[in-house]
Structure 1
Amino acid sequence: MSATEPKPFRTTDGTAWDAQVLEGQDRGHYMQSDAWARTREESPWRGLRDVVPVPAEGRELPIQLFERTAPLAGRIIFLPRVSGITPAAVDAITARAKAYPKRWFGLKMETFQAETPELVEAFERNGWVPAASSQYQHAVAVDLTGTLDEVAARFKKRARNSYRAAENKFGVTVTKVEMTPENEAEMHRLIGETKVRSGGYFRHPEYFQRIWDVYKTVGQGHFYVAHYEGEVQSMAFVIRFGDTAWYKDAGSIRENAKIFAPYLMQWKIMQDLHEQGVTLYELANIPDPASWETSDIKGLYTFKTAWAPEPVRYMPTYELPLTGRYALWAKAGRWLRAVYTRRTGDAWF
């Protein structure tokens, strides 16, 4: 690697990479982990890694990148859910990317940090442009620090009332279960029911299965299931990376909504994560708080916001043009991605 042309590299030591990310990124996201790279091995995306010097802060920032060919424009680099970003880090990543080989026409980055004016300004003054997000911008993050009583005290009253009723009044039970083929089949069934009921977009079953296969192998993913009168009510797949966990996939039945099984399932998941030393549990996507009442998923907003005082607004997505070919992507990229999804049923990113 020359000093004038840094090149992202590939590594096979996943354990060392994970340790580097967890040390170098503040609350590293699972999409920056070795396991996530393994989930993408059979996709059009090729995993790469780089370690970016941030001289102004005397540190190095490890980042996981993915590249693929975009029709017409050439190759693009995607940095999913990077954390540990400061204005100085934006300066460093920009300079690093501009020195990459010219086969890449642009770089897209999604940041796993709350939006701040200082970071927005840093992206904009470095020439980054706003771009369509592949991940959600609004979420609920549950603080699991302190005792369990202190954790529960931060919930809204409806959360505590609901999970207590589920357990004490209705007899709902929640257990962590092995990720066996039988349990995976049940999870697929519940996700399918949820997809039909909601009418929303869901990835292919093969996409879910690939993630489950990898994460159960490395021990960073687990299933939880809620039962009522011997029948499965809902299931959840939770990923842990470092001291953070994510509510990744879920499915449920429509019946028995008044027994509050999802509330008890989340509380039991949090108790288990707390025992493992997890300090933050992210409940994933919610609608924009400014317009949630008109959203198709307003029920999710009501449910998830019961667990934290305020939702999180993550940084917007940005792209950095690296060559003149970026103009083709900026003009036709949205259309090309839509055509790809119609043809394959899968998301481009």
Structure 2
Amino acid sequence: MLTGPDGWPGLADDALATGTPLTLRCFSENPATADPRLRAVGEAAWHGTPLNCTEDELYMRISSTSRRNLKAAERNNVTVVASTELDAVHAFHRLHVRLRKNKYRLLAQPVEFFERIWQQFTGADAVITLLAEVDGEVAAGAMYLVWGDTLYYKFGASLSEFLPKRPNDALYWAALRLALSRGLRTVDWGISDLDQPGLVAYKRKWASEERRVVTLRGGPDPTPKTEVGTMLGELTRLFTEPSVPDEISTQAGALLYRHFC
């Protein structure tokens, strides 16, 4: 672990000596950002919610918009179920496939990817899947990991037709309450690209801490997109057409996703 600026040069010397492309992300105050051998190629926002408070105090810390949306979710009979079971992971993955396909025109990670995460953490009940339901139908979901004294938000998905009922607000609040009940120190909402202002603004409603994360690159630029990469892009476009059944898109993701990594 890098504990101070004096340790960075030696670490960077070893990493850059190979002449291979190097990409890293760090907070903006990290000494790596001042290294002239690295160039900044991106910036994102990180959000976190400290839990050094009671539930009532936490409720008053979130934005007034979030509090209004929580009342709307309650009026719309949105219920949230927290589970550490694999069935909940599978239910979340179905949402994830639909969101990636219909909103972003991307293939989803295969279900085996999520199953392996669950297998690695399930012994400590450290994979928590939250599912928001409206009249018995899953409207939104999120997967969280517990590590140390922190609850980490990892994946989220929701169905657009349910958004007016505010299922995502119900999910976020349920996650905060769950972390508080477990005696955790903070909720880490992860990073959001600055070209997604809607997502950044949404996380700001729940987080009381915000920091900048910089993407740095050293060495030669990564290999340009190849003919294979172009082909994968075209296959993605075809398999995420609205006319393609979700099950086919799911199978395509399972077959092709490893080639994107």
Over the aligned positions, Cα root-mean-square deviation in angstroms equals 3.1
Counterparts of 2:20 and 2:84, CA distance in 1: 44
CA distance in 2, matches of 1:340, 1:244: 39
Counterpart for residue 215 of structure 2: 316
Q: Which residue of 2 aligns with 1:34?
A: none
Which residues in structure 2 correspond to 1:72-91 (within 5 Å)? 86-91=4-9
**In the alignment, is residue 149 of structure 1 matched against residue 56 of structure 2?**
yes
Give CA deviations for 1:62-99 in whole Å, capped at 9, x if unaligned.
xxxxxxxxxxxxxxxxxxxxxx5542232231245468
Structure 1 CA distance for aligned equivalents of residues 30 and 259 of structure 2: 30
Counterparts of 2:83 and 2:231, CA distance in 1: 34
How far 1:196 moved relative to its partner?
2.6
Greater helix proportion: 2
Letter in 2 for 1:335: K
Q: How far apart are 1:137 and its partner, in Å? A: 2.3
Does the 8 Å contact 1:340/1:347 carry over to 2? Answer: no
Distance of aligned partners of 1:117 and 1:246 in 2 relative to their CA distance in 1, 3 Å threshold: closer
Rounded Cα–Cα distance in structure 2 between residues aligned with 1:231 and 1:287: 31
Shift of 1:248: 0.8
Aligned residues: 238
Give distance in 2, aligned partners of 1:228 and 1:137: 33
Q: Say if 1:98 and 1:187 are closer, same or farther in 2 by CA, change over 3 A.
A: closer
How far off its partner does 1:239 sit?
A: 1.0
TM-score by length of 2: 0.76
Match of 1:185 in 2: 90
Question: Which structure ranks higher in relative contact order (CA pairs < 8 Å, sequence separation ≥ 6)?
Answer: 2
Separation in structure 1 between the aligned mates of residue 89 and residue 196 of structure 2, nearest angstrom: 32
Distance, in Å, in 2 between the alignment partners of 1:85 and 1:108 is: 20
Structure 2 Cα separation of the partners of residues 283 and 138 of structure 1? 10
Q: 1:262: how far off?
A: 1.1
* Partner secondary structure for residue 214 of structure 2: coil
Determine the structure 2 residue equivalent to 1:199. Answer: 104
1:276 equivalent in structure 2: 182
Q: Which moved more, 1:248-257 or 1:154-163?
A: 248-257
Q: In structure 2, what is the equivalent of residue 166 of structure 1? A: 73
Following TM superposition, by how much is the alpha carbon of 1:119 offset from its aligned partner in structure 2, in angstroms? 4.5
Inter-CA distance 275–337: structure 2 relative to 1 (3 Å threshold)? farther
Matched, 1:108 2:23: yes
User: Residues 341 and 348 of structure 1 are in contact (CA less than 8 Å); yes or no, is this contact kept in structure 2?
Assistant: no
Q: Cα gap change, 1:310/1:245 in structure 2, threshold over 3 Å: closer, same or farther?
A: closer
Q: Which residue of 1 aligns with 2:33?
A: 120
Distance 1:108 1:89 in 2: 18
Q: Aligned equivalents of 2:204 and 2:39: distance in 1?
A: 31
In structure 2, the gaps of 5 or more residues are: 234-255
